[in-house]
Structure 1
Amino acid sequence: MHHGFQSAARVRIWPACVFLIVALFCGGVSFLPTSARAQDIQQLLDPLAPLVANAEAADPHAEKDYNVIFVSLTNTRADHLGVYGYSRNTTPNIDRFAGKSLVFKNAFTHASWTLPVVISLFTSQYPFTHKLMNREEEPILLESVPTFLDVLKTNGYTTAAFVGNRDYAQKYGHTSRAHFVFDPVNDSDMEDWHRYGVLQNTMPPAREWLRRNKDKKFFLLVQGYDTHCPFAVPKGNAQFDPDYRGKIDFTKCYWTFEPTRPIKRRSEAGQYQDVFLLKTKPTAGDNFEVMFYPEDVKHMVALYDGEIFNADQYVGGLLEDIAELGLDKKTIVVIYSDHGDMFGKHGRFMRGGPLRGTFYDDVLHIPLLIYHPAIKPKTVNEFVQVIDIAPTLLDMLGLKSPASFVGRSAMPAVTNGTAINQYVFAGSAFTPAQRNPFFSYPSVIVSARNQQWKFIAERVSPTTGPRDSAELYDLQRDPEELTNVAAAQPDVVKTMKSVLKKWLESIGSEKMLPTL
């Protein structure tokens, strides 16, 4: 059996590389198990069945300074990847990579947009703790707050970040801690962010940097904005719906800032269909409200899948380089995403509005794949949160997490299925810009989820006074979160609200819980 990553072009051998691709930012650490973890990790080794055909079994102690490569796909839903059960062939390279990796089936993020999440990734703190939740307030991560990058640099790593998202900008104080940062979005006209921020622009220089620094102990972050709207770039990504004949201009982004219920409209064929009213950024002379027929929604999803497929091709090229350069024996790889997106559930599209209506699993359930050359491939079903990623990697590398990190290493879940989280939590606040044409008041949203129940509490604060709301979903009976049973399950609501309250109290944010 080949223990390598096979791209669309050919198979490569990865004898013992740890490639951590996280569709966001988290990687770059060497793997040196602590004595406390050595026995756990040994259980994952398979000396009787070599990882690579005709090769010796991987020895976790043979390589003391593992590199880390972290790939963030930013806006990619877990359920749109083949490894997570998607029917379309969107991710052939990532799926092959998953066959050699730890696949975390229940990884969850903490908010529905990138800035608060990526700061949580770097700091292992919840958004309410690090408080970077609004671009408009010019936030910055204090230098006194340690990040994953700081730990790596202290331990002799050369660090680099190739990023394509304004929320990865150095001005926020996270990526700026890398030795080298390539940032075409924030060094260009922001009106063209969707052109500059894709892997087409960040991956080639990242691969060149990899070739030049292959003999060093390094951490490399590669991030792309490919799967974020608009979904019309690059050309040729409509292979999943080539017969579309609609009139929607998909070079624009479309959102719903309030739930939209389908209305009946007569199509050109004379049939009445359910139509959604979506909004786009208004320009001079434009009507920013657009009617989406079922075929338009279908095509939007197809374009999104095409963007995922395109991103997967760039990931495949990187995987080839790692094997070709012989880095597979000493590299950890992570693939991850900051959050997902909405395509009509509950009348919501994208993640418009001040966070509300966006804390469903479509958005919060993320892909997380970690490859370690000395650890057998495995599916991990226990809950893992974004704040757990950095502690997990540091644990794998034998490095100590800073005291300010609140996440937990997932290694107990990997080695013996021990749960590290009974619940996963999400929570953030949002204050819109004064120039926002769609909404002008702040909001707070929090959620708690276990294996059976998902509870969401929201507060919006217009000038007329705050409005609170609650949703409860029985995930065993309703995994798609379609039926709110809060009114029918008051005891469960009480329990879940208590869970949220205790969580918020534990991080000093009890005032953020809506009064329900």
Structure 2
Amino acid sequence: MQSTPRQPNFLIIVTDQHRADHLGAYGNKVVRTPHIDGLAAGGFRADAMYVATPICMPNRASMLTGRYPSAHGARHNGIALSTQATTFVDLLREAGYSTGLVGKAHFQNMTDHPAQWPLRAEERLSREAFEAPLGRYDQERRDLWLGRDDFDLDYPFYGFETVDLVDDHADIVHGHYRYWLRKHYPEVEALLGPEQAIAAPEYELTRIGQAWRTRVPEALHPTAYIADRAIEQLQRHAGATKPFFLAVSFPDPHHPFTPPGKYWDMYSPDEIALPASFNVTGEPPHVSWLKEKRRNGTAVKHTPALFSCSEREAREAISLNYGSITHIDDNVGRLLHELTRLGLDKDTIVIFTSDHGDYLGDHGLMLKGPIHYQGLIRVPFIWRDPRVTRHLTHSASLTSTVDLAPTILERAGVAPFNGIQGKSMLGLMGGADASLRDALMIEEEGQRVMMGFKERIRCRTLLDGQCRLTLYDGVQWGELYDLDADPLEMRNLWDSAAHAGPRARMLESLARTMLENVDKSPYPSALA
């Protein structure tokens, strides 16, 4: 009797705030990423992979569930993904996979602040319209991890049987990394943070708290720690009978920028070119609002919120971002080398992606926010399957982070669950499907009142392969760009009479796409 082929292993590598065009495989001629580029050369590259939302927590929840934020409920940072939510990792575990996560999770609030939802009864001003499900929603809180030596997660954690947590950013992350550092290298833990950093007065970003030159050695940096723990996981899986799903999640190259050692000045700001759109004029009101703040000296630059940056700040951010990316690439190389040394490469699908991008000087902006330029919403997606020899090398078909869950489940031979809104990319990657969809939606629910808006910003974006349309709640203006003719999105056509037809067509398409993605789970009850 012929034996059934073993289910494939999965190794998914996720970076944080990493735009697609900051990889050699996506055309960048400056940043050095030979190991990630090698993955792309031997696999499939999605050239139009977009986020479900350009915000960390809700998009990571969308990756886990295959659902938009409006469906899974974690609409913006601070709203945890329900502990009762079904994730694709849950299904893999139930199907016999060993499931593990090393690095950043961010499925719950990871700051010092208690979760805003669910609220305790005494904190409610009135009864909530939606009652929160049961569960612990303090599992990633920074103060709880740093204040103890035995705080931990409830397992399985959103489907992960094991987690080696490295939450937050820069060199001041928390989680199991800090336990390890405190136990083995207490003298290094004392070097964390901007107060202990090596002086770098030539960097403007250090003056506003968006970068510092860490004293943490390269080998003890969170990026190296994550690779070390992931390698240990691979070694444990070698020779095992169960297939594995291992997520390796790097908190870099997210700001504040703290690439260690040689990676700090590997790329010189003086040799970095400004983005072509940096000095463009005639932009939408919210971008003009930010630029006016920069001109009159009232821009707030030390918080996680986006701001309009100077030329020097943009060059510094790009150079330090490149340093962090090359540091990650070197550690990805270590991972891939060990995968091959252990003989696991023949049965392991390797995936590389990110949760969202960063403006990094595009249109004179820095960090991220509710302005859906390509640098923010387009992320890398690379898939290398050693068992598939005939496949497309790349595709410009519209794909979304909600497609990750159904793709992995189909490749693992595991039936999906009702409510998944993404689509499997296997047919597209194999060349059977010419396109995955005609239009793609991006949601955003803001936390802050800013940029001239009277309330928290809420917007929806539609991409149709040629144009990008963004509609904002509470204002009469919007954005419309012809990406074929204007890939840098420098000419807003919203008020163009010549483009009234395309605008109307895309507004209708957006309405239909929103309707299509209204939650269809649970099934309706049977009629009496």
**Taking structure 2 as the reference length, what is the TM-score of the superposition?**
0.70
Question: Alpha-carbon deviation of 1:306?
Answer: 1.3
1:471 aligns with 2:479: yes
1:184 is aligned to 166
Letter in 1 for 2:30: R
1:427 aligns with 2:454: no
Residues 299-320 of structure 1, C-alpha deviations (whole Å, 9 max, x = no match): 2211111111111111110000
User: Cα RMSD over matched residues?
Assistant: 3.5
**What's the secondary structure of 2:166's corresponding residue?**
coil
Letter in 2 for 1:331: T
1:214 is aligned to 238
Picking from 67, 78, 94, the partner of 1:154 is 94
Partners of 1:291 and 1:305 in 2: how far apart? 20
**What's the secondary structure of 1:390's corresponding residue?**
helix
Residues 460-502 of structure 1, C-alpha deviations (whole Å, 9 max, x = no match): xxxxxx4343100011100111110111112211111111111
CA 1:308–1:468 in structure 2 vs 1: closer, same or farther (change >3 Å)? farther
**What's the secondary structure of 2:388's corresponding residue?**
coil
Figure out how many residues of one structure are paired with residues of the other and give that number: 412
Question: Alpha-carbon deviation of 1:198?
Answer: 3.8
Question: Alpha-carbon deviation of 1:387?
Answer: 0.9
Residues 224-271 of structure 1, C-alpha deviations (whole Å, 9 max, x = no match): 1111011233233222216589xxxxxxxxxxx964676899xxxxxx
Partners of 2:478 and 2:232 in 1: how far apart? 50
2:518 is aligned to 508
1:409 aligns with 2:409: no
1:336 aligns with 2:318: no
Partners of 1:343 and 1:110 in 2: how far apart? 20
CA 1:220–1:261 in structure 2 vs 1: closer, same or farther (change >3 Å)? closer
1:46 is aligned to none
Picking from 297, 302, 305, the partner of 2:314 is 297
Question: Alpha-carbon deviation of 1:438?
Answer: 11
Picking from 251, 256, 280, the partner of 1:225 is 251
Partners of 1:486 and 1:290 in 2: how far apart? 24
1:372 is aligned to 385
Higher deviation after alignment, 194-203 or 441-450: 194-203
Question: Alpha-carbon deviation of 1:369?
Answer: 0.5
Letter in 2 for 1:146: T
1:120 aligns with 2:74: no
Partners of 1:438 and 1:475 in 2: how far apart? 26
| 8 A contact 1:259–1:347 mirrored in 2 | no
Question: Alpha-carbon deviation of 1:215?
Answer: 2.6
Partners of 2:451 and 2:439 in 1: how far apart? 37
1:496 aligns with 2:506: yes
Partners of 2:500 and 2:306 in 1: how far apart? 38
Residues 94-119 of structure 1, C-alpha deviations (whole Å, 9 max, x = no match): 11121111111111111112111111
Partners of 1:424 and 1:437 in 2: how far apart? 26
- Unmatched 5+ stretches in structure 1: 1-60, 246-256, 266-273, 283-287, 460-465, 510-516
| 8 A contact 1:336–1:367 mirrored in 2 | yes
Higher deviation after alignment, 394-403 or 123-132: 394-403
CA 1:115–1:73 in structure 2 vs 1: closer, same or farther (change >3 Å)? same
Question: Alpha-carbon deviation of 1:432?
Answer: 3.7
CA 1:204–1:292 in structure 2 vs 1: closer, same or farther (change >3 Å)? same
2:332 is aligned to 315
Sequence identity of aligned pairs in percent? 23
1:107 is aligned to 49
| 8 A contact 1:262–1:276 mirrored in 2 | no
| 8 A contact 1:104–1:367 mirrored in 2 | yes
| 8 A contact 2:25–2:37 mirrored in 1 | yes
1:45 is aligned to none
| 8 A contact 1:197–1:224 mirrored in 2 | no
Picking from 281, 286, 294, the partner of 2:302 is 281
Partners of 1:277 and 1:303 in 2: how far apart? 25
Question: Alpha-carbon deviation of 1:176?
Answer: 3.7
**What's the secondary structure of 1:499's corresponding residue?**
helix
Partners of 1:447 and 1:218 in 2: how far apart? 36
2:150 is aligned to none
| 8 A contact 1:261–1:347 mirrored in 2 | no
**Taking structure 1 as the reference length, what is the TM-score of the superposition?**
0.72
CA 1:244–1:65 in structure 2 vs 1: closer, same or farther (change >3 Å)? closer
1:204 is aligned to 228
**What's the secondary structure of 2:508's corresponding residue?**
helix
Residues 17-68 of structure 1, C-alpha deviations (whole Å, 9 max, x = no match): xxxxxxxxxxxxxxxxxxxxxxxxxxxxxxxxxxxxxxxxxxxx98422111
Residues 106-152 of structure 1, C-alpha deviations (whole Å, 9 max, x = no match): 1111111211111111111011111202333x433241x32111111
Partners of 2:452 and 2:503 in 1: how far apart? 31
Partners of 1:135 and 1:400 in 2: how far apart? 30
Question: Alpha-carbon deviation of 1:221?
Answer: 0.6
- Unmatched 5+ stretches in structure 2: 111-136, 141-153, 168-173, 180-191, 195-210, 273-285, 520-528
2:409 is aligned to 394
CA 1:108–1:264 in structure 2 vs 1: closer, same or farther (change >3 Å)? closer
CA 1:80–1:276 in structure 2 vs 1: closer, same or farther (change >3 Å)? farther
**What's the secondary structure of 1:446's corresponding residue?**
strand
Partners of 1:478 and 1:76 in 2: how far apart? 23
Letter in 1 for 2:456: P
Letter in 1 for 2:354: S
CA 1:375–1:278 in structure 2 vs 1: closer, same or farther (change >3 Å)? farther
| 8 A contact 1:276–1:291 mirrored in 2 | no
Question: Alpha-carbon deviation of 1:349?
Answer: 1.4
Question: Alpha-carbon deviation of 1:290?
Answer: 9.9
Picking from 231, 236, 239, the partner of 2:266 is 239
Question: Alpha-carbon deviation of 1:343?
Answer: 2.2
Partners of 2:307 and 2:4 in 1: how far apart? 59
**What's the secondary structure of 1:456's corresponding residue?**
strand
Question: Alpha-carbon deviation of 1:182?
Answer: 1.0
1:251 is aligned to none
Question: Alpha-carbon deviation of 1:390?
Answer: 1.5
**What's the secondary structure of 1:221's corresponding residue?**
strand
